[in-house]
Structure 1
Amino acid sequence: MRILKVNTYAPDTALYQAFGPDVVFDIHRDPSEPPSLDRCRAADAVINCSATLPIGVGAEHFERCRIAVREGVGYDTMDLAGWGARGVPVCNVPDYGTTEVADHALALLLALTRGTSSYQEAVRDRSDGWRYDAAPLVRRLRGQTFAVLGLGRIGLAAARRAAAFDMKVIFYDPYLPNGAELAAGYERVRRIEEVMARADILSIHTPLNDETRGMVGVDLLAKAKPGLIVINTARGPIVDLDALGEALKTARIAGAGLDVLPKEPADSDHPLIKAYRQREAWTEGRLMLSPHSAFYSPSALEDMQRKAIEVIVSYLREGVLMNCVNAEHMKRAPRAA
């Protein structure tokens, strides 16, 4: 069984060895060049380790490949239709970093609303920085309305953390069946416009697809309740960065905490990123960025890599398919080993 890992992290030899000598790993680490066609043709399975980069080679070149896995939750970098046309299932790893991402979403919110980052910078940079009013977004969280956009595993985990801070939790997720609100224990809102009108905090946890790309843009932000804080730990293109920057600059919204951006690493030429790096006054204490790191802890990284391989080995050894995300594109039944 030969597994090609593309855009991967440093090889974890001990982890790979745990799957037995019949599992051979071909590691491709250079994101600037796609793997060679010979390597693609030899692979029984392929793993894409990047959340932002595609594999770089089309599904048609993987002549022996029987399963493709995105090593992570989001799968927008995978050609679902292309693999499906060949009868190859695409799978993801939806259950590896739930707590880390949910924790990070709340950490961004708390850094803004308790001012920890602003206070640190003020004390470090200025002799007159020993002031409780150095942070512009400090507010009492108890009683605030925390709106979750997408109540999957991570969205639900974030909702539970917000509820623990005595916030009122509401959610919007048109894909969940009726009754999901009863199971979750939070109020379901059927119209996203109502969510924006009620939310003090909007925490984004939806996948990136044609429907969600640019969803949080000019029209939606125009409907925001005054004082809204936007938190995005999902995918960068869900938020229109131009619209967000304008909404921040004009104080249409109060603040934003972004772990993900439409272009990564951050585009130095984008007006919002430029203003942030130049520390323009309207960004100070109101915009926080982190480098697509919400998923990360050493434990989560190990889980993510191990679970991706488990999906492949389970399918190729036993014919058991887990976490398939392209079933609607399959032209024929997936091939078992």
Structure 2
Amino acid sequence: MARFRILVPDAKFDDDGVIERRLSGDDYDWTICRAKTMDQLPAEVLDSCDGIVTWHVLRFDPALVARLQRCRIIVRAGVGYDHIDLDSTAAAGIAVSNTPDYGTMEVADHALAMALVLSRGLLRYHTELLADPKGAFNSAASMGQRRLTGQTFAVLGIGRIGTAAALRAKAFGFRVVCYDPYVSRGVERALGIERVESLDELLAQADVLSLHAPLTANTRNILGADALKKIKPGAVLVNTARGGLTDPEAVLEALHDGRLAAAGLDVFPQEPIDPETPWYKTWVEQPAWLRGRLLLSPHTAWLSDESRQDARSKAVETLMAFLERGELRNCVNGMTAAAVRSNLS
């Protein structure tokens, strides 16, 4: 008989837990679901699971946490955990861990790809060539394209992914500056980049602004309408971090006003996007002023075959380390191994 019962409530893979079952062995009984609401989850499994590995679809609000009578740990198969209520899990004696060491290179690559495509005008050239195969071959009409070398690549958040993006930007000849009040001083010197002391200073210098901050109460909508009014005119904005850091409606307004030259968004406040959302409908319609200036991808910056496997395997390793040895890795809700509830018999 299996020692541990594990629930995956919102799996983002097609198989029945091949990687999870192979890594954990016979001591673990896995229930793989693809639910979007609590009501779609088996009640008996909710009540009896020892641990959970979750992706980013299902929200762990206090009502759902209250159903977890035996659960000792929730592992997020990914980095962001803003969909998990940290207070109610801690109060219930449930540890919450994330998986920060996967997809770092992919997200940094995606951020630079968006920045380069938009800064070099490739999306605009692409759309112009589709619309007018002959007229597009008129370089005089594309004046204003700037050399990337020497432009300022501004990084908001210089953690793992922000660091990887900064190093890539340096390789393209950008001057790189960062702002992160939570990172120790001197990190920027080790990376060979510059540091500014405020968000306003970062915005004023940015030719490209790349967001790499977590979503917290302090960072939610940090690049809202007011902040976008302070950004250097003609800047390119890239968000591959969390959708709640900026407001797409405000981004569209900044594009329309000319404050932003272009923007690339991989993450959104609501996912999937409601097709009736006004800003999204505008993007679909592609008015002349927006054409070639807004690049979207569906929260796939992290995605590669390798990173998906890493997210799954590292999440399982984190789960097993705690359940079998009491080793608590990457805990984000302030719990210690000793404070986690004892498994009920």
TM-score (norm 2): 0.91
Corresponding residue for 1:65?
Answer: 71
User: 3-state SS of the aligned residue for 2:87?
Assistant: helix
Once the 2 structures are TM-superposed, how far is the Cα of residue 138 of structure 1 from its aligned partner? 3.9
In the TM superposition, 1:155-194 aligns within 5 A as 155-194=162-201
Match of 2:296 in 1: 289
In structure 1, the partner of 2:59 is 54
Are 1:150 and 1:172, in contact at CA under 8 Å, matched by a contact in 2?
A: yes
Residues 115, 136 of structure 1: 8 Å contact kept: no
Structure 2 residue corresponding to 1:213, chosen from 220, 223, 229: 220
Question: Matched residues in 1 for 2:260 and 2:136: separation?
Answer: 27
| Residue matched to 1:3 | 6
Count of residue correspondences: 335
Aligned to 2:319: 312
> How far apart are residue 336 of structure 1 and its match?
7.3
CA distances 1:268-303 after superposition (whole Å, capped 9, x unpaired): 333322221111111111111011110100100000
Give distance in 2, aligned partners of 1:3 and 1:132.
61
Q: What does residue 29 of structure 1 align with?
A: 34
- Aligned counterpart in structure 2 of residue 109 of structure 1, from 103, 106, 115: 115
Q: Secondary structure of the equivalent of 1:244?
A: helix
> Which of 237, 240, 245 is residue 247 of structure 2 equivalent to?
240
Task: Say whether residues 1:269 and 2:276 are aligned partners.
Answer: yes
Moved more, 35-44 or 13-22: 13-22
SS in 2 for 1:176: coil
> What one-letter code is carried by the residue in structure 1 that aligns with 2:297?
S
Equivalent in the alignment of 1:300: 307
Deviations 1:165-211 (A, max 9, x none): 01011111111123332333321111110111111111001011111
> Separation in 2 of the partners of 1:126 and 1:31?
44
Q: Is the 8 A contact 1:40 1:62 kept in 2?
A: yes
Distance 1:96 1:76, change over 3 A: same
Deviation at 1:126, TM superposition (A): 2.9
What is the CA RMSD across the aligned residues, in angstroms? Answer: 2.1
Is the contact between residue 259 and residue 291 of structure 1 (CA under 8 Å) also seen in structure 2?
yes
Answer whether contact 1:314 1:321 (CA < 8 A) is retained.
yes
Of 170-179 and 8-17, deviating more is: 8-17
- Give the gaps of 5 or more residues in structure 2: none
Distance 1:55 1:122, change over 3 A: same
Instruction: State the distance in 1 between where 2:40 and 2:18 align.
Output: 26
- Given that 1:85 and 1:331 are in contact with CA atoms closer than 8 Å, whether structure 2 keeps it comes out as no
Segment drifting more, 266-275 vs 147-156: 266-275
Question: Is the 8 Å Cα contact of residues 267 and 299 (structure 2) preserved in structure 1?
Answer: yes
Q: Match for 2:24 among 2, 19, 36?
A: 19
Runs (5+) with no aligned partner, structure 1: none
Output the amino acid matched with 1:14: V
Q: Distance in 2 between matches of 1:25 and 1:171?
A: 43
Shift of 1:256: 0.5
Q: Which 10-residue stretch deviates more, 287-296 or 6-15?
A: 6-15
Please give the alpha-carbon distance, in whole angstroms, between the structure 1 residues aligned to 2:143 and 2:73.
50
Query: 1:132 Cα shift?
Result: 5.6
Distance 1:306 1:246, change over 3 A: same
Q: Which residue of 1 aligns with 2:84?
A: 78
Q: Does the residue aligned with 1:281 lie in a helix, a strand or coil?
A: coil
Say which of 227, 235, 239 aligns to 2:234.
227
- Are the aligned partners of 1:203 and 1:231 in contact in 2 as well (CA < 8 Å)? yes
AA in 2 matched with 1:22:
D
Which amino acid in 2 is paired with 1:27?
Answer: I
